[in-house]
Amino acid sequence: MGEVNIVKLHGIGANPYSKRVEPALRIKGIPYEFIEEDLSNKSQLLLKSNPVYKKIPVLVHNEQPVVDSLIILEYIDETWKNAPQLLPDDPLERAKVRFWTSFIQQQLFEAMTRVVTCDGEIQAKAIDEVQGKMKVLEEGMKEVFPGSGSPSIDGDNLGLLDIMICSTFSPYKAYEEALGVKILDPERNPLVFCWVKALNELPLVKELYPPHDKLVALLKVVRENALRVSSST
């Protein structure tokens, strides 16, 4: 080997998109420097690395920037080919992982964002949407993990879907407390619930996520800010 690999991750500690990249770097044993960005005062490096969207996370590998959390994850998998692999080898299985990753991002995550940032009828509709999509996800995951009740979680062998599920649902208790909304229900979504519980037991996940009280406080702040902005426009 003997290659020099300087890896910097521009992100925000509690941000779920940043939280997708860090587990991948850690489980592959890739040393990196985390640079906390202030979105009200974006660094020159961030603006230069992501001129189109000016968003985090940005992975800078030997001064080359890679943007968008899901694109970063595929880049990590293709550049550091050591185990664990984030995507399976088989093209059909890879297509399934990409399909469900896209579903979680576009259908679920965005509806969940509306649950946090909206109120009244818009929030009520978003909650219905999330619950409907959770049902679809539950059915879909039964196909991806046929047979037993839930996927077996190995902290050293997490894949892309584990990372997506974790970054989206890990703080489910905080959502419940901050918003009074049940996103993940053990009776309605038994497979995903067990999966998230198992992920939350991993030392890596406990290390990466702020404690429950801090997450609740953070969600409340995000919600207050969003509601204030929308009521003043």
Partner 1 sequence: MEQVQLLGMWLSPYSYRVIWALQLKGIAYEYIEEDLSNKSPLLLQCNPVHKKIPVLIHSGKPICESSVILEYIEEIWPQNSLLPCDPYERAIARFWIKFADDKGPIVWKICGTRGEERQKVIEESLEMLKTIEEHGLGDKKFFGGDKISMVDIAFGGLAYWPGVIEKVLGRNLLEAHKFPRLHAWTKNFKEVPEIKENLPDFGRLLKRQT
Who's near 195: CB < 8 A, 6+ residues apart? Answer: 141, 150, 151, 153, 162, 165
Shortest Cβ distance from residue 92 to partner 1 (Å)? 6
Q: Which residues contact 36 (CB under 8 A, 6 or more apart)?
A: 11, 12, 13
Pair 27, 84: CB distance under 8 Å: yes
Q: Which is nearer to partner 1, 66 or 166 (CB)?
A: 66
CA angle at residue 208 from 205 to 210, to 5 degrees? Answer: 105
**Taking the complex as a whole, how short is the minimal distance between the CB of residue 96 and partner 1, in angstroms?**
9
Q: How far apart are CA 121 and CA 132, in angstroms?
A: 17
- Of 88 and 155, CB closest to partner 1: 88
CB nearer to partner 1: pick between 87 and 158:
87
Q: Is residue 171 within 8 Å of 209, Cβ to Cβ?
A: yes
Closest contact distance (angstroms) between CB of 62 and partner 1 is 9
- Decide if 208 contacts 202 (C-beta within 8 A): no
Residues 157, 68, 217, 37: is their CA dihedral positive or negative?
positive
- For partner 1, which is the closer residue by CB, 84 or 140? 140
The neighbouring-strand residues paired with 35 are: 10
Minimum CB distance to partner 1 smaller for 19 or for 61 = 61
Residue 72 or 166 having the CB closest to partner 1: 72
Q: Tell me how far, at minimum, the Cβ of 139 lies from partner 1, in Å.
A: 9
Minimum distance between the CB of residue 78 and partner 1, rounded to whole angstroms?
4
Give the shortest CB-87-to-partner 1 separation in angstroms: 10
**Encoded tokens for 139:** 């059915």
The contact set with partner 1 (CB under 8 A) reads 51-52, 61, 64, 66-68, 71-72, 74-75, 78-79, 91-92, 94-95, 98-99, 102-103, 136, 140
